[in-house]
Amino acid sequence: MTAKTPKQTQITRKDNVATNKYQRLKSCLSADPQQLTQRRINEFVPLVAMNDATDRTELDIKLQRALSMVEAIGPQDGMEELLAMQMVALHQAAMACSETALHPDAPAVRKDANVAMMVKLTDAYAKHMAVLDKHRRRASQTVVVEHVNVESGGQAIVGHVETDTKKTKTS
């Protein structure tokens, strides 16, 4: 029987850790669709601003509004779904700050703090919109050339140009 070298033991330990992580991930991914739907609902409900005085009808209205906001964003994959839910939460929080800032009985300090927070929240919302747009465009870039000067004897090409990235060697 040969003894294991320290390097072999270390690799075996790393492999066991990787296998355990893989098994845990696999068990998470094997959840049935009903469990996933319930999880989404559980993540979605806190997006709705409510308090102890919120009755069932008001809760239903708020949930429908939040759901319609997510549908308006129209998430096309899991990433966009997460962004849409975050955007709804940001919007809800910004509107709550706005409501507090506009309340006639609120002290000036509280109004100022709520306006400042609303500005931060709407800025974060705008950043989320930019991320969503970039994700949907898949980071494609467009170059717009507005002014071209072609000197006498020069040439210009208008249209799509492709070049061969492989350089051929000439002898």
In whole numbers, what is the pLDDT of the chain averaged over residues? 78
Question: In this predicted model, what pLDDT tens digit does every residue of 77-92 receive, in sequence order?
Answer: 888 888 998 999 999 8
* Cα distance between residue 15 and residue 38, in whole Å: 34
Residue 139 has, within 13 A of its CA and on its CB side, a CA count of 0
* Cα distance between residue 74 and residue 23, in whole Å: 33
Average of per-residue pLDDT across 160-164: 76
* Cα distance between residue 50 and residue 58, in whole Å: 9
- Report phi then psi at 105, rounded to 5: -90, 0
Domain boundaries, the chain: 55-137
Average of per-residue pLDDT across 13-20: 60
CA 104 to the chain's CA centroid: 36
Q: Cα angle vertex 127, ends 126, 128, to 5°?
A: 90
